[in-house]
Amino acid sequence: MAGTLLKGYDFSAQSMSELSASGSPVRSLVVSLTCVATVLMIAFGAGIWRAEGQALLPRVVAVLVIGHAVLGLVATLFFPTRFSERPTFGSAGVLLMFLSAVCFVLSMVVGAAAFSGWLGILSIGIPASYVLLALLRFATAASSSSEQAVSMIGTRERTMAFSFLFWAMGLAVHLLLSGRLMDSACGLGG
């Protein structure tokens, strides 16, 4: 949404963090949406925690989901990149966003062990596709310029972000179908 309001923004070539960068004309909108999304993701993590009772692995998933949301919010609020400047890997904001991504990938990997059936398959399939795509990218790196590699950063970031949200939606459906999420919301669950 915010990218459509920023004139000349290229969804495939520009990083998502550029929308929340200091100096971005749409920063206030992105920060507001990030705050709302973080509250919802924390609530979802708390729901996972409650729905799965005392089981360790689902609770680890819940902590990782919450960690992903909080780290992303802290990076966005307190360590934004500068608008129209390429961020450096050593910066605090980039490190926090990297840790946020590690949390969401680990939440799916742990979810593969925590949940069976189709959700377990989805939980391992998405991170496996990340590895496959990374290997494919490294295999073709010699045949493409560094400019081409950078030009797809927006596409890669969005693919990872949207696939994580797809997984979270799958987890919510799993919990709803099992009845545990509704029980926990009503205070009946452990």
Q: Classify residue 149: in a domain, yes or no.
A: yes
Q: Classify residue 100: in a domain, yes or no.
A: yes
Query: In angstroms, rounded to a whole number, what is the distance separating the alpha carbons of residues 30 and 187?
Result: 34
Q: Classify residue 109: in a domain, yes or no.
A: yes
Q: Classify residue 178: in a domain, yes or no.
A: yes
Q: Classify residue 10: in a domain, yes or no.
A: no
Tokens of 175: 């919990």
pTM of the model: 0.83
Report residues of the chain scoring pLDDT below 70.
Answer: 1, 3, 6, 84-89, 140-151, 180-190
pLDDT at 190: 46
Segment 109-165, tens digit of pLDDT: 999 999 999 999 999 999 999 888 877 777 766 665 555 555 677 778 888 899 999
Tokens of 9: 């923004």
Q: Classify residue 59: in a domain, yes or no.
A: yes
Angle between helices 153-178 and 92-114 (to 10 degrees): 40
Overall number of domains in the chain:
1
Structural domain including 47 reads 17-185
Q: What share of the chain is helix, strand, coil (3-state, %, to 5)?
A: 75, 0, 25
Query: In angstroms, rounded to a whole number, what is the distance separating the alpha carbons of residues 148 and 92?
Result: 26
